[in-house]
Amino acid sequence: MPLTSRPLRKLGFLTMGLFDEDDPGQGHESTLEIIELGERLGFDSAWLRHRHLQYGISSPVAVMAAASQRTRRIELGTAVIPLGWENPLRLAEDLATVDVLSGGRINPGVSVGPPMNYPQVKEALYPDTGDVEDFGYERVRRLLDLVRGERATDVSGVKGFEVFSDRVQPHSPGLGRRMWYGGASLSSARWAGEHSMNFLTSSVVKAEGAERPDFAEIQLSHIRAFRERHPDGDAARVSQGLVVIPTDSASPGQRARYEAYAAARLPRTTSPQGPAGLLFAPDLVGTSQEIAERLSAHAGFREVDEVAFALPFTFEHDDYVQILTDMAERLGPALGRRP
Q: What is the pLDDT of residues 26-43, one digit of tens each?
A: 999 999 999 999 999 999
Could you give all domains of the chain from N- to C-terminal order, each with its CATH number? 10-152+165-334 (3.20.20.30)
pLDDT at 333 over 50: yes
Is the pLDDT at 320 greater than 80, yes or no? yes
Q: What is the pLDDT of residue 321?
A: 98
Q: Residues 183-198: pLDDT tens digits?
A: 999 999 999 999 999 9
What's the 3-state SS for the chain?
CCCCCCCCCEEEEEECCCCECCEHHHHHHHHHHHHHHHHHHCCCEEEECCCCCCCCCCCHHHHHHHHHCCCCCCEEEEEEEEHHHCCHHHHHHHHHHHHHHHCCCEEEEEECCCCCCHHHHHHHHCCCCCCCCCCCHHHHHHHHHHHCCCCCCCCCEEECCEEECCCCCCCCCCHHHHCEEECCCHHHHHHHHHCCCEEEEECEEECCCCCCCCHHHHHHHHHHHHHHHCCCHHHCCEEEECEEEECCCCCHHHHHHHHHHHHHHHHHHCCCECCCCEEECCCEEECHHHHHHHHHCCCCHHHCCEEEEECCCCCCHHHHHHHHHHHHHHHHHHCCCCC
Question: Does pLDDT of 1 surpass 50?
Answer: no
Q: How confident is the model at residue 5 (pLDDT cuts 50, 70, 90)?
A: low
Distance CA 184, CA 198 (A): 14
pLDDT of 7? 82
Answer whether residue 319 shows pLDDT above 50: yes
Residue 2 has pLDDT above 60, yes or no: no
Residue 174 exposed, middle or buried by CB count within 10 Å (0-12, 13-18, 19+): exposed
Distance of CA 88 to the CA centre of its chain: 18
- β-partners of residue 81 are 110
Percent of the chain with pLDDT over 70: 99
The pLDDT tens digits of the residues spanning 6-24 come to: 789 999 999 999 999 999 9
- Check: CB of residue 286 under 8 Å from CB of residue 250: no
User: pLDDT tens digit string along 53-109?
Assistant: 999 999 999 999 999 999 999 999 999 999 999 999 999 999 999 999 999 999 999
User: Confidence class of residue 211 from pLDDT cuts 50, 70 and 90?
Assistant: confident
| pLDDT classification of 3: cutoffs 50, 70, 90 | very low
Average pLDDT, the chain: 96
Predicted model pTM: 0.96
* pLDDT tens per residue, range 241-284: 999 999 999 999 999 999 999 999 999 999 999 999 999 999 99
